[in-house]
Amino acid sequence: MQSVLLGDLSPLDEKIKSYRHLFPKSTSQTYISVLQYVYKILEKKYPNEYIYKNTFLNERLLIEKCSPNSVIFSEFRIGKSIADLAQFNGISKVFEIKTELDSPSRLQGQLTNYKQVFNQVYLIIPESKLDLYKDFDSEIGLITFNQNYPKLERFKNQRESITFPFPCATQLMEVLHTQEYKNIVSEYFTQMPDMNSFNQFKICTKLLDQIPRDKLNQLFIKQIKLRDPKCPLSKHAYKELNQISLALKFKPRDKNLLVSNLKQTLKY
C-alpha cells in the first residue's frame, strides 16, 4: 500500500488485470470498488489474518472504544514477540490471533511474555479450533470467530481472561522506549539519578523494580498511550482499510490520500 500511497498503482494493475473477468461490471470501475469486492469474498469464504484483525478491530474494538482515552495498536512489540492487537485504556489488553492455518507451536512463549506486561490476555481463534486451544492456558481469555454468523455476532467470548499480577519491570524495559522509561523514573522519583547512555538501561531497570506494581502499571499505560498516532479509524467509511492504516501508523492526510488514489478509474 505504500506504493499506492505515493500514487503508483501498477502493483494493483497487474493483479486486477489478471482477474478482472471474475468481477461483476458494477464493481470493476475503480480500484477501491475492486478491493471492497475482493474483501467481501475473503471475509465470507477465505478469512486470513488481515481479515481476522480488521474484522475484530471494526466489530469489537472500535465499538468498545467509547472513551477518547482508549488507544489501539497493531503489531505491538513485546521483547521478541509481536502481538497482533493491543488496547490501552484504564487497563491494558492484548489480542493474539491464530487462523485455521496457524499452529500453536510458538504460542506458549508469546503468552508468557504477554502475561508479564498486560493486565488481560486474549486468544482469538476460529470456532472450529476451539477444542485445540481451550485447554492450552486456562488463565487467558478465548474469543472464537465464525465468518458465517451475522455481523457483530461473529466474535464470541468463550472465556474471560483473568487479571494478571501487575507487570514485570524487566519485561517492561523490553517494551518501553528510552525516553519512556526515563519519564517513568522521573515522574515517580521526582528526579533523575546520575547516569549516562551506557548505564541508564541497567539503572532504570532497578528503579522501575522498586516502584509498587499497581503504580508501575499506571505509569506504563500512561506512557504507552502517549504514543497514540491518532490514526483515522472509521466504523463505516472504508473500514476495509482500518487495519492497514493502523499498522502503517497513518495520519488523517495519509488515509485521505490513499482513498483518493484508490478512487481512480481503472486504466484498462
φ, ψ for residue 168, nearest 5 deg: -85, 125
Tell me the per-residue pLDDT of 126-159, one tens digit each, with 9 for 90 and over: 999 999 999 889 999 999 999 889 888 899 999 9
| 239 alpha-carbon distance from chain centroid | 15
User: For residue 20, what are the CA distances in angstroms to 13, 14, 42?
Assistant: 10, 10, 16
Note whether 175 and 120 are within 8 A (CB). Answer: no
Judge whether residue 30 has pLDDT over 80.
Answer: yes
Q: Indicate whether this model's pTM tops 0.75.
A: yes
The angle formed by the CA atoms of residues 86, 92 and 97, to the nearest 5 degrees, is 35
226 falls in which pLDDT band (50, 70, 90)?
Answer: very high
Residue given cell 504460542 in the structure block: 107
Sheet of 81-88: strand order equals 71-78, 81-88, 92-97, 120-126, 141-145, 155-159
| 151 alpha-carbon distance from chain centroid | 20
Judge whether residue 268 has pLDDT over 70.
Answer: no
pLDDT at residue 265, rounded to an integer: 87
Domain 48-164: which CATH number of 3.30.70, 3.30.250, 3.40.50, 3.40.1350: 3.40.1350
CA-based nearest residue to 53, from 107, 5, 99:
99
Judge whether residue 262 has pLDDT over 70.
Answer: yes
Tell me the per-residue pLDDT of 52-104, one tens digit each, with 9 for 90 and over: 999 999 998 887 655 667 899 999 998 888 999 999 988 999 999 999 888 88
Domain boundaries, the chain: 1-46+232-268, 48-164, 169-225
